[in-house]
Amino acid sequence: MRYVLDSCVAIKWVVPEALRDKALRLRDDGRNAVHEFLAPDAFPLEIGHALTRAERQGRISQADGWTSWQEVMADAPRLEPSLALMARAYEISSQWRVGIYDCLYVALSEQESCEFITADDRLIRNLGQQFPFIIALSLLP
């Protein structure tokens, strides 16, 4: 199965957070070619941002930050150019008042006609009705 994978799911591969077991199972399925993952090419930046924030919050050590980024990127989704997604992402962001980074993932899911897996409950609340292909990580087996 092909999915767009949110960076907030991938960060759970290296940072202990709620639903980590589901995120790791998903990663392992990707490694075993059960699933193929896609993401906008902003994904590495979002992972870096999340990891440096986790460092500042004391959830991971500074020594582990860069290694964790490399770990995530070793299993990173296939990255798709964000510029090609910007017009639609901007439209979604403006219409629904949601951050443009999140809308890149939604636009990619639309373009590729596949589901978007996220652990962002706020995103699901804000866009889930309009975009039923957005799937909560918590709902996966």
Q: What is the mean pLDDT of residues 68-81?
A: 98
Sorted by where each begins, the domain ranges of the chain are: 2-139
Q: What is the mean pLDDT of residues 54-58?
A: 97
Beta strands 36-40 and 78-80, pairing class: parallel
DSSP 52-82: HHHHHTTSS-HHHHHHHHHHHHHTPPEEE-S
Q: What is the mean pLDDT of residues 57-74?
A: 96
CB–CB of 65/29 below 8 Å?
no
Q: What is the mean pLDDT of residues 120-141?
A: 96
pLDDT band for 134, please (50, 70, 90 cuts). Answer: very high
Q: How many CB atoms lie within 10 A of CB 83?
A: 9
Mean pLDDT of the chain: 97
**DSSP label at residue 47:** H
Q: Residue 6: enclosing H or E segment and its boundaries?
A: none
pLDDT band for 64, please (50, 70, 90 cuts). Answer: very high
pTM, two decimals, is: 0.96
CATH topology of domain 2-139: Rossmann fold (3.40.50)
